[in-house]
Amino acid sequence: MIYLDYAATTPMSDHSLNIYMKAAKNAFGNSSSLHDIGDIAARTLQASKKLIANMIGGNEKRLYFTGSGSEANILAIQSLLNGIHPSKNHIITTQIEHSSLYTFFKRLQTEGFEVSFLKPNKHGQISIEDVINKIKDHTGLVSIQHGNSELGVIQQIEEIGLCLKKQGILFHSDCVQTFGKLPIHVEKGYVDAISISSHKIYGPKGIGAAYIDSSAYWRPVIPGTTHESGFRPGTVDVPAAAAFAAAAKDISDKMNEHTKHYLELRSQFIHAIKPYKDKLILLNENSEHILPNILPVIVNGIEGQYLMLECNRYGFAISTGSACQVGMQAPPRSLLALGIDEQKAKQYIRISLGEQTKAKELESFTRTLINIIEHF
């Protein structure tokens, strides 16, 4: 089986797995315990936080481990909302956020919050003007993802963040898809909080992190919590944190190398499908603001679900969108937000590349995809 679904999850790297096993043996204590074994775990946890915080230009004391990127999203938003005045109950977000946040914001609407869902342009971009036009006197928080997992679109969070900082409005960004793939600097990016995840960067599943800048006041979702400075209850998974940090360091060191690799593969794919432009449409083919490892494709006349199953039959793992929405009959929400009709949106498939993806594997996949289309 050739794996082409890296945007959904990645396999653990050998280094990350080795670090996990070493930490599980040597730093198994509860990091909150006061004895020496607990101290070993605490120091391992501290070193892991420092390594990850350094990657984003932050302070390790502001980094809080969570059970996933989705949980990091929800805890970061709710903690920030708990810290602002109740009158600041207007939130600005987008129609193309990850399902963990989109559904959470929908719930907040039933709890007295006013939420504005910004519609992207036809390329999936959210402009600064769009954000400014929605700001009200009672706007307290804006949340805009850095990179979309289905479209591969990158938002200009630095420019948006600078504008919001000047107005004293809190800014959160879901950086789960971009962490380790794009440079992120929490201070230069003018973000108050970001969310990241381990299993997107060849680390273990079941651990993510939220970073909240010292300038942003927050209050715990569950009062009385002692772990992670009150941010999240429960004993911290120190081995997973150490493995997360190892994976983060490795992917950071190879960021430029990976980008070059993905751009070459993307160019190869574009060239290969050029004779089939009437059937295969690569969304945002000419856009600069994209994650090059995500190839969102619409195949005219064939449903993505059928193509995904056929590709699987031939030994290729691809997807029809975010793994967090698998099982839902509706087409990807991000495509509908672009103005693509429902029938066309159901003809979408996503190919996502990883560091292990070889040119010959992508070539083999492309030939298979074309063969399936020609014999449909």
The set of catalytic residues is 324
Phi-psi category of 168—alpha, beta or left, where left has phi over 0 and alpha has psi -120 to 50?
A: left
**CA angle, residues 338, 344, 347, in degrees to nearest 5:** 115
CB neighbours of 136 closer than 8 A, spacing ≥ 6?
Answer: 90
The token pair that represents 160 in the structure block: 């948006």
Helix axis angle for 238-253 and 36-55, nearest 10°, is 30
CB neighbours of 133 closer than 8 A, spacing ≥ 6?
Answer: none
- Rounded Cα distance, 162 and 72, in Å: 23
Which of these, 37, 33, 43, 101, lies nearest to 245 by C-alpha position? Answer: 43
Interstrand relation of 170-174 and 139-143 (parallel, antiparallel or unpaired): parallel
Cβ–Cβ < 8 Å for 233, 116: no
CB neighbours of 180 closer than 8 A, spacing ≥ 6?
Answer: 55, 200, 201, 247, 248, 251, 252, 255
- Rounded Cα distance, 325 and 332, in Å: 8
DSSP 315-351: TEE-BSS-GGGTT--SPPHHHHHTT--HHHHTTEEEE
- Rounded Cα distance, 119 and 361, in Å: 36
**Which amino acid makes up residue 266?**
R
